[in-house]
């Protein structure tokens, strides 16, 4: 067979692109040359579970719900989610104080605070290393012409659902080969009336000069 | 007309200054958490300004054993043609309000109430800082790195530069955390191949010892 259909071309290309993103994330700049970032890619059922989980957080976090809804739309066309994770304890011995402890040893000995989103306290340089890797992956996706956005909500979901294990903090890079960029200008999620209502509530001075007088 | 080496030297420095502006542009347009701008990037392209930072770094190297690497960083920085310092300002008092617990305080309310590190000489950054906000600086740094790579310019990233610049109070007052990117337009990257004891044994000190001292002596004796 010498003719390849566009769908298979795009899907195979997306798989290769995710592999290249993982490569550039792994080889990105990092402090102290410590390559400890854990990288996984999520597709299919697990992605659906992440979307449902985020959507179910609606009451607690409207942002997660919005992203969950976005992910459901995203999965209708070729897409993938890369999740990068990192441990929280410092192996740098910089003793810089950014975490709120005077030395790295003190921070590593401090009581671990667990939560759904991340385990703290986290070494600042660990976090910077992780996010430089995430940005390198995003830069590669951008150069390959993929639609791309970095999400912390999906990463938090993957962390609490134990899709990515053995890490304390995580960040995710979503890529898509959709016809329209699905990550920005997401106006399909609300009507004009809803948008106007929220806008008028949040920015009352835009339409009203004096906000002391409440009319209702 | 034949071009002089001196012309090449000035053009080289000019190109480094122009590149610093383009690298700043890429760092500025890199993503920000929640689309909220809070980073600033400052260019130091005057050799005297860079020297000031180097001297502050060397003073800081005396403070703690674990900051001994600042001496090496200062030696590398003296070879840089321009230095960019990226800062993050909201990470001190304006957490992202998503209760992510990366700072270990569980919710942003507790983070606001948490006691900050004192302004002591052995504290580089007065944490705890909002880690989620400070990830912006990672994006800014990688934006700069990726532009430097595209332009084919040698770069090095140093936290010592950010710490020293904060201590010198040359950055915006609200800065909580800063990192530096040094760039160089030279035939050999001054940020790679760093041997042991580079703080004392480097191009400059070797030049000073061998050529600047022995050659004049030789010349005055044998002339």
Residue B122's pLDDT band, with cuts at 50, 70 and 90, is very high
Q: Are A66 and A189 in contact (CB under 8 A)?
A: yes
DSSP E strands: which ranges in chain A? 38-42, 79-86, 147-151, 169-176
B77, two tokens: 């920085």
Q: Are A47 and A134 in contact (CB under 8 A)?
A: no
* CA-atom Rg of chain A in angstroms: 21
Residues in a beta bridge with A41: A82
Whether omega before A21 lies within 30 degrees of 0, making that bond cis, reads: no
**β-sheet with B154-158: strand ranges across:** B39-44, B82-88, B177-184, B154-158
Q: Which domains does chain A have, with CATH numbers?
A: 9-182 (3.40.109.10)
Task: List CB contacts of B84: < 8 A, sequence separation 6 or more.
Answer: B20, B23, B24, B27, B41, B42, B43, B44, B144, B180, B181, B182, B183
Partners of residue B134 in chain A, C-beta under 8 Å: 98, 124, 127-128
Q: What does the pLDDT average to over B172-191?
A: 94
Chain B window 2-41: which residues touch A at a Cβ cutoff of 8 Å?
30-31, 33
Cβ-Cβ contacts under 8 Å between A and B: the total is: 144
ipTM of the complex: 0.74
pLDDT tens track for B188-207: 999 988 888 899 888 888 88
Q: Which of B70, B75, B79, B81 is nearest to B21 (CA)?
A: B81
Query: How much is the pLDDT for A215?
Result: 59
Q: Which of A157, A142, A183 is nearest to A21 (CA)?
A: A142
In angstroms, the CA B60 to CA B115 distance is: 24
Check whether A205 has a pLDDT greater than 80: no
Structurally, at CATH architecture level, domain B5-192 sits in 3-Layer(aba) Sandwich (3.40)
Q: Are A18 and A41 in contact (CB under 8 A)?
A: yes
Task: State whether B125 and A97 contact (CB < 8 Å).
Answer: yes
pLDDT tens track for A172-204: 999 999 988 888 877 777 788 888 888 888 777
Chain B window 160-219: which residues touch A at a Cβ cutoff of 8 Å?
163, 177, 179
Which of A28, A32, A67, A120 should we substitute to test contact with B (largest number of B Cβ atoms within 10 Å)? A120
Residues in a beta bridge with A81: A42, A174
Check whether A125 has a pLDDT greater than 70: yes
Report the largest interatomic distance among the alpha carbons of chain B, rounded to a whole angstrom.
77
**Which candidate from A96, A127, A136 shows the least CB-CB separation from B135?**
A127
Query: How much is the pLDDT for A204?
Result: 76
Predicted model pTM: 0.83
Chain A window 139-178: which residues touch B at a Cβ cutoff of 8 Å?
139, 150, 152, 156, 169, 171
Partners of residue A136 in chain B, C-beta under 8 Å: 142, 146
Q: Which of A124, A121, A119 is nearest to A164 (CA)?
A: A119
Chain B window 131-150: which residues touch A at a Cβ cutoff of 8 Å?
131-132, 134-135, 137-139, 141-143, 145-146
pLDDT tens track for A46-104: 999 999 999 888 778 888 888 898 898 889 999 999 999 999 999 999 999 999 999 99
CA nearest to B67 within chain A: A94
Q: Are B134 and B92 in contact (CB under 8 A)?
A: no
Decide if A29 touches B, using CB distance below 8 A. yes
């Amino acid at each position: 067979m010498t003719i390849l259909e566009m769908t298979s071309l795009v899907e195979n290309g997306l798989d290769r692109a995710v592999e290249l993103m993982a490569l550039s994330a792994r080889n990105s700049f990092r402090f102290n040359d410590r390559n400890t970032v854990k990288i996984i890619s999520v597709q299919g059922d697990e992605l659906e579970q992440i979307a449902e989980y985020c959507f179910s957080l609606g009451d607690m976090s409207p942002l997660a719900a919005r992203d969950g809804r976005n992910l459901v739309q995203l999965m209708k066309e070729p897409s993938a989610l890369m999740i990068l994770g990192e441990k929280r304890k410092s192996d740098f011995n910089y003793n810089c104080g950014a975490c709120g402890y005077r030395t790295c040893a003190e921070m590593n000995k401090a009581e671990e605070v667990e939560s759904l989103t991340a385990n703290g306290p986290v070494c600042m340089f660990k976090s910077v290393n992780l996010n430089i890797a995430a940005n390198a992956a995003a830069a590669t996706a951008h150069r390959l012409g993929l639609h791309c956005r970095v999400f912390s909500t999906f990463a938090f979901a993957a962390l609490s659902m134990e899709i990515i294990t053995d890490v304390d903090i995580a960040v995710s890079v979503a890529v898509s080969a959709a016809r329209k960029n699905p990550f920005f200008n997401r106006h399909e999620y609300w009507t004009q009336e809803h948008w106007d209502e929220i806008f008028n509530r949040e920015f009352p001075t835009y339409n009203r000069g004096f906000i002391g007088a409440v009319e209702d | 007309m034949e071009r002089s080496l001196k012309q090449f030297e000035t053009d080289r420095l000019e190109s480094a200054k122009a590149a610093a502006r383009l690298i700043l542009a890429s760092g500025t347009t890199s993503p920000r958490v929640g689309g909220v701008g809070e980073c600033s990037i400052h260019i130091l392209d005057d050799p005297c300004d860079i020297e000031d930072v180097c001297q502050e770094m060397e003073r800081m190297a005396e403070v703690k054993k674990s900051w001994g690497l600042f001496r090496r960083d200062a030696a590398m920085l003296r070879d840089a043609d321009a230095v960019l310092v990226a800062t993050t300002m909201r990470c001190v008092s304006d957490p992202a309000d998503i209760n992510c617990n990366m700072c270990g305080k569980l919710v942003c309310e507790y983070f606001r109430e948490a006691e900050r590190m004192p302004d002591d000489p052995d504290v580089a950054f007065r944490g705890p800082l909002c880690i989620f906000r400070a990830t912006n600086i990672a994006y800014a740094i990688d934006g700069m790195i990726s532009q430097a790579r595209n332009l084919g310019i040698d770069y090095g990233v140093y936290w010592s530069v950010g710490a020293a610049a904060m201590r010198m109070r040359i950055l915006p007052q609200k800065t909580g955390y800063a990192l530096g990117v040094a760039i160089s337009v030279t035939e050999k990257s001054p940020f790679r191949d760093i041997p042991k004891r580079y703080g004392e044994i480097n191009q400059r000190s070797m030049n000073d010892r061998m050529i600047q001292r022995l050659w004049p002596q030789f010349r005055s004796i044998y002339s």
